[in-house]
Structure 1
Amino acid sequence: MAVIQQVEGVGALRVKRNWHPYVQGLAVTLSALVLLPIVSLAIVALGGTGEDWPHLVTNVLPGASRTTLLLLALVAAATSIIGVIGAWLVVAFEFPLRRVFSWALVLPLAVPPYLAAYAFGEFFHFSGPVQTLIRTVFDFQTIHDYWFPDIRSTPGAAFVLASVLYPYVYLTTRIVFLMQGRNIADVARTLGARPAKVFWKVLLPVARPAIIAGVALVLMETINDIGASEYLGVRTLTFSVYTTWLARGSLEGGAQIALLMLVLVFLILLAEHWARRNQRFYTSRATHMRAYPPRTRLSGLAGLGAAFAVALPVLTGFGIPLLVFGQYASRRLDQFFSPALADAFINSLVTATATALITIVLALFLINAVRLSRSRSIMVAVRLAAVGYALPGGVLGLGLLFVLAHFDNTLDGFMRANFGVSTGLLLTGSAGAVVLACTIRFLALAEGAIHSGMEKLPPHLDEAARSLGQTPARSAARVLLPLLRPAIFTAAVLVFVDTIKELSATILLRPFGFNTLATYVYENASRGVPEEGAVAAIVIILTALVPVILLSGALMRDREALL
């Protein structure tokens, strides 16, 4: 033991001696870069004349706030019900195709909300298959002969968003049920409790922190949405930012609404933290996690009902968009060779690849900085750098637009005054601005994925290598990076696909004539012809399937999923 302590002491001394004094400054700089859009928003919002504020308070904010809050409440309730019931059924019961649905329930994550909105709008339209079937069966002639819910409404938008966002709640809840829920549920059943009582009295209290965490992610994605709400005619706060800026030409008004959205996001995060306080559950021994009791077997109508209950979300959130866009794309195969689509695909590929590479490098730097320094200031800087993921894309894009425009104008003024040369707009309205926005927003995603992989490694592995004479850089390159390769690959894939799907910030920051796959579909939908973007939509869905399939494979490799 003394030898081990001595080796660790040598490693600790070596870490301190090799600690570069500028690393802390660079970590703080990265955190400041993430916070810069927020600061710029506040400056613009508070520095305006305020002439638009009476109009916003009277005509915009009341209705947009009510709509946003109602949408958040409906989406939270729907995703909680779908996610929790799905997790409970696949973990606690045995029924036909249970193993398939245990991973298939994740598939709707491959469908961006704006694509789901376009597909649902066509599927439930008067001329769509659902209403056509109703008129055929009941011999109705016009829309006035029967009632059908309007998908272009706040409840309709909530239905669309919940259909593709519920996997966040399903995944977090399923993990808790697997690790802890079934053991304590088995104890409750041995005491005579029926399955329904076990669910309400045992499983729900255990899973409450996980459910809240999943719902918080869902709500932030809901606030971030612009494509679905605009297409369905739902005037949320995010939609109001764009209309105030573009329709009324008021940057200050858009910034003021964006700040209000930011307050709403932080209230959601505070509510999540408050609701999850002191709510932690542990298994008594790690070996207990392998001793799962048998599931309750459902046969006959009960088994078919359970299979239908978990199949319906998959068919709705993944099947309908794939069916609608697949049909449109099959009639437009020539678009696969369209120069406009090819340019959009290349732009998406380059943007997503650059974002993935930059975020991976920055995430590795931040994680290694914390590991080397053990400094509280570094840890705080890393936590601040993760704030970007909580920012809605529209808010982040607007704040970053102000920063880049100010930088370009300042540089241009300096060059004109001193050298008589105009630099123009270097960063504003450039592909680099889109990459920067996606890097800020998804840095936390890469950091979280790599950090989870780092936690599985022995804590003093690299320190042992450095105690044998290796420098920190060589120790990281030769010891840590090979072991972290799976986590790095996962982080890169997640960031790549989220960048492919990103729409809100890209709309604000992209240069003129620059389309990604997401904006290509969005432009066609804005012109009322989403079918013209069907091929691009299929490409987005197929690309987004990559991490979903990887995640599904991980679930299937889980020993629990094979029982």
Structure 2
Amino acid sequence: MHVPDAGRAASLPPALESMTVPVQPTAPVDEQRFPRIRGERHGAAHVISLVIALAVFLPIATVLFVALSGSGEALPHLLRYVLPQSLGTTLLLLGLVASGTAITGVGAAWLVVGYDFPLRRLISWALVLPLAVPTYLSAYAFGEFFHYVGPLQTALRAVFGFESARDYWFPDIRSTWGAALVVTSVTFPYVYLTARVVFLMQGRNIADVARTLGARPARVFFRILLPVARPAIIAGLALVMMETLNDIGAVEYLGVRTLTLSVYSTWLNRGSLEGAAQIAALMLVIVFLLLTVEQWARRKQRFHNARGTQMHARPPRTPLSGPKAWLATMALLLPIASGFGVPLFVFGRYASKRLYQFADPQVFQALLTSISVAGTTAIAAVIAALLLLNAVRVSRSAYTLVLVRLASIGYALPGTILGLGLLLSLAAIDNAIDQAARDHAGFSTGLLLTGTAASIVIACTIRFLALAESAIRSGMEKLPPSLDQAARSLGKTANQSALTILLPLLRPAILTAAILVFVDTVKELSATILLRPFGFRSLATHVYENASRGAVEDGAVAALLIIATAIVPVILLSRPLMGDRHT
């Protein structure tokens, strides 16, 4: 059995391209744009949607089945010794991270949208960069940066003349507040992006009216802007808390016992599969509560866009001068330095002393493994998303829509639950195939899926299918419906129209979807560590293995490669923040 993993990094929002509220997509295709195609049978579309939805739901059903069908022997121990501490720590961590990301994200959006100060345009874009850093890499970097022999404490001793740790007090990063700081540093952009959208589309116009009536800036912010942005902020916070619940790398490295970590320790250390499934079932309850809150917030969110002639006539930002201007600049540079600067500094310093590792066969092999697995996953996720969207397009029934929504919940599943459920379900499938081969053919097939790279591809495809579906759906909704209707009027079938007309026009959206899935797969660890075969090593597992044995510096090159890969979609999809002079 493999060592527990380092958790999944904070992922790019599925709707980052359009800068709207991320995560769970709404209705997959607009019925007015792509009306239901009548007069043809679409049984294959229903079957495909059903198969994909069942594949996504299978790990969830497996975890619930194991949790509810056991003997209950582990439950008294969990209720007495495990759940009180783990659940309390998890809720405290969620509360700290939610508070930190709300203050940082909303405050940054308010300053960037409402005020002019030095480096504002550059900062408005750079605030998204922490999304490129996985939480486990951030934890490793913070652990090194705040260590007794790290650069920060070393500088403090040099400046104040301290000779040992007994001469001064320094906070311990290996604590719940330390884990909250780590997760907040790389997830606050989710709230920043969602709040920024609302402030731009509604807030500044409303705030300008309030100012003309004599309202002070603080009163405008708390009485006008916050109520307007509350649904978007709640949606962003729901995503942040799901990412926090998913994390295991940061909490394991920092010694914080959460529900996610308890799943691994209960299974691997105590050998109780039933107990691990029961903890995972409790996590599922929390996840679906967060999803419910997020969907409630999205229903209450409404945008009223200005007309095209007014888009460049937004109220001017309030100029800041003197100390206030530089104070605003410094206040926004701090979260950028914390979420992106610290990891880049730590890993860059270590890598500069280990340049030979760029030619290290182990690092090269890990890079090839990451590329091959991520590339395969991207292709699989894009194909599955295209099949789902085409099924909705040709047969817009309530049945198909429910299946597509069910297939999109994988993005909200913590890697712990997904890995555990998939491992058990794939093992059952392998055993069934092997037994059938023994009974009818007289030979053993062995394990075909369990403990192979295929299981990792399946897990990541389920995990990130929603990313591909959201990106492609966004591109599909931009196409004029007349294209499809013209092809249908010329005698093309639904599938012929999709292949010859729509698919070529969707290439940019398909490429975007593939990039998003590729990058998130490169960063994924929670399912990878649990499902990987013997000898499997990706960039993420290479970093984790070195950190687990206390040698973070030996994984610095691989860490930089992960961050460099993740920066690509962040830059491509957030260029409007840098290029729009009116935002």
Which residue pairs with 1:141 in the alignment? 163
Which residue pairs with 1:163 in the alignment? 185
How many angstroms apart in 2 are the aligned matches of 1:364 and 1:389? Answer: 17
How many angstroms apart in 2 are the aligned matches of 1:190 and 1:231? Answer: 52
Which residue pairs with 1:382 in the alignment? 404
Find 2:338's aligned residue among 316, 322, 341.
Answer: 316
Letter in 1 for 2:504: P
Q: Which has the higher helix share?
A: 1
Which residue pairs with 1:544 in the alignment? 566
Which residue pairs with 1:74 in the alignment? 96
Q: Which of 134-143 and 492-501 deviates more? A: 134-143
Note the residue ranges of structure 2 that are not aligned, 5 or more in a row.
Answer: 1-30
Find 1:298's aligned residue among 320, 332, 345.
Answer: 320
Which residue pairs with 1:183 in the alignment? 205
What displacement does 1:327 show?
Answer: 0.7
How many residues are treated as equivalent by the alignment?
Answer: 552
How many angstroms apart in 1 are the aligned matches of 2:80 and 2:362? Answer: 42
Q: How does 1:449-460 map to 2 (within 5 A)?
A: 449-460=471-482
Which residue pairs with 1:418 in the alignment? 440
Question: Is the CA contact 2:232–2:297 (under 8 Å) kept in the aligned structure 1?
Answer: no
Letter in 1 for 2:61: V
Letter in 2 for 1:234: V
Question: Is the CA contact 1:240–1:254 (under 8 Å) kept in the aligned structure 2?
Answer: yes
1:31-70 Cα distance to aligned partner (Å, 9 max, x none):
1111111111111112222222211111111100011000
Which residue pairs with 1:366 in the alignment? 388
Question: Is the CA contact 2:201–2:303 (under 8 Å) kept in the aligned structure 1?
Answer: no
Find 1:27's aligned residue among 37, 40, 49.
Answer: 49
Which residue pairs with 2:176 in the alignment? 154
Letter in 2 for 1:75: V
How many angstroms apart in 2 are the aligned matches of 1:501 and 1:264? Answer: 24
Which residue pairs with 1:265 in the alignment? 287
Find 2:264's aligned residue among 242, 245, 250.
Answer: 242
How many angstroms apart in 2 are the aligned matches of 1:274 and 1:470? Answer: 41
1:125-159 Cα distance to aligned partner (Å, 9 max, x none):
11111111211222212212211111000000000
How many angstroms apart in 2 are the aligned matches of 1:489 and 1:547? Answer: 11
Question: Is the CA contact 1:19–1:372 (under 8 Å) kept in the aligned structure 2?
Answer: no
How many angstroms apart in 2 are the aligned matches of 1:174 and 1:381? Answer: 32
1:82-131 Cα distance to aligned partner (Å, 9 max, x none):
11111111111110000100100000001000000000000011111111
SS for the counterpart of 1:17 is coil
Letter in 2 for 1:385: A
Question: Is the CA contact 2:48–2:387 (under 8 Å) kept in the aligned structure 1?
Answer: no
Find 2:219's aligned residue among 160, 181, 197.
Answer: 197
Find 1:47's aligned residue among 36, 45, 69.
Answer: 69
Q: Which of 487-496 and 71-80 deviates more? A: 487-496
Is 2:487 aligned against 1:465? Answer: yes
Letter in 2 for 1:462: D
Question: Is the CA contact 1:326–1:534 (under 8 Å) kept in the aligned structure 2?
Answer: yes
Higher RCO (CA < 8 A, seq sep 6+): 2
Letter in 1 for 2:559: A
Is 2:419 aligned against 1:397? Answer: yes
Q: Which of 278-287 and 444-453 deviates more? A: 278-287
Is 2:355 aligned against 1:350? Answer: no
How many angstroms apart in 1 are the aligned matches of 2:90 and 2:308? Answer: 43
1:376-429 Cα distance to aligned partner (Å, 9 max, x none):
111111001011111001100100011000111111122122222111111001
Q: Which of 466-475 and 37-46 deviates more? A: 466-475
Question: Is the CA contact 2:231–2:297 (under 8 Å) kept in the aligned structure 1?
Answer: yes
What displacement does 1:473 show?
Answer: 2.4
SS for the counterpart of 1:140 is coil
Matched-pair identity in %: 65
How many angstroms apart in 2 are the aligned matches of 1:111 and 1:130? Answer: 21
Question: Is the CA contact 1:242–1:254 (under 8 Å) kept in the aligned structure 2?
Answer: yes
1:228-261 Cα distance to aligned partner (Å, 9 max, x none):
1100000111111111111111111111111111
Question: Is the CA contact 1:344–1:515 (under 8 Å) kept in the aligned structure 2?
Answer: yes
Find 1:307's aligned residue among 319, 325, 329.
Answer: 329
Is 2:231 aligned against 1:217? Answer: no
TM-score w.r.t. length of structure 1: 0.95
1:419-462 Cα distance to aligned partner (Å, 9 max, x none):
22111111001100000000001001111111122222223431
Which residue pairs with 2:500 in the alignment? 478
Which residue pairs with 1:129 in the alignment? 151
Q: Are residues 283 and 213 of structure 1, via their aligned partners in 2, closer, same or farther at CA, if it must alter by over 3 Å?
A: same
Question: Is the CA contact 2:35–2:393 (under 8 Å) kept in the aligned structure 1?
Answer: no
Is 2:539 aligned against 1:517? Answer: yes
How many angstroms apart in 2 are the aligned matches of 1:549 and 1:283? Answer: 25
How many angstroms apart in 2 are the aligned matches of 1:372 and 1:244? Answer: 47
Q: Are residues 381 and 286 of structure 1, via their aligned partners in 2, closer, same or farther at CA, if it must alter by over 3 Å?
A: farther
SS for the counterpart of 2:425 is helix
Question: Is the CA contact 1:178–1:560 (under 8 Å) kept in the aligned structure 2?
Answer: no
Q: Are residues 367 and 557 of structure 1, via their aligned partners in 2, closer, same or farther at CA, if it must alter by over 3 Å?
A: farther
1:333-386 Cα distance to aligned partner (Å, 9 max, x none):
111122221221111101110111111111111112112212111111100101
Question: Is the CA contact 2:145–2:151 (under 8 Å) kept in the aligned structure 1?
Answer: yes
Q: Are residues 507 and 98 of structure 1, via their aligned partners in 2, closer, same or farther at CA, if it must alter by over 3 Å?
A: same
Question: Is the CA contact 1:104–1:552 (under 8 Å) kept in the aligned structure 2?
Answer: no
What displacement does 1:271 show?
Answer: 2.5
What displacement does 1:214 show?
Answer: 0.9
Which residue pairs with 2:9 in the alignment? none
How many angstroms apart in 2 are the aligned matches of 1:531 and 1:47? Answer: 45
How many angstroms apart in 2 are the aligned matches of 1:237 and 1:202? Answer: 38
Q: Are residues 31 and 232 of structure 1, via their aligned partners in 2, closer, same or farther at CA, if it must alter by over 3 Å?
A: same
Question: Is the CA contact 1:12–1:463 (under 8 Å) kept in the aligned structure 2?
Answer: no
How many angstroms apart in 1 are the aligned matches of 2:35 and 2:465? Answer: 28
Is 2:530 aligned against 1:504? Answer: no
How many angstroms apart in 2 are the aligned matches of 1:558 and 1:482? Answer: 29
Letter in 2 for 1:257: I
Find 2:550's aligned residue among 509, 512, 528.
Answer: 528
Question: Is the CA contact 1:180–1:289 (under 8 Å) kept in the aligned structure 2?
Answer: no
Question: Is the CA contact 1:179–1:289 (under 8 Å) kept in the aligned structure 2?
Answer: no
Q: Are residues 193 and 459 of structure 1, via their aligned partners in 2, closer, same or farther at CA, if it must alter by over 3 Å?
A: farther
Find 1:109's aligned residue among 105, 119, 131.
Answer: 131
Letter in 2 for 1:177: F
1:476-519 Cα distance to aligned partner (Å, 9 max, x none):
23322233222211111111100000010111111011011111
SS for the counterpart of 1:148 is coil
1:503-537 Cα distance to aligned partner (Å, 9 max, x none):
10111111011011111111111111111111100
TM-score w.r.t. length of structure 2: 0.92
How many angstroms apart in 1 are the aligned matches of 2:206 and 2:477? Answer: 27
Question: Is the CA contact 2:232–2:301 (under 8 Å) kept in the aligned structure 1?
Answer: no
How many angstroms apart in 2 are the aligned matches of 1:368 and 1:22? Answer: 11
Q: Which of 159-168 and 328-337 deviates more? A: 328-337
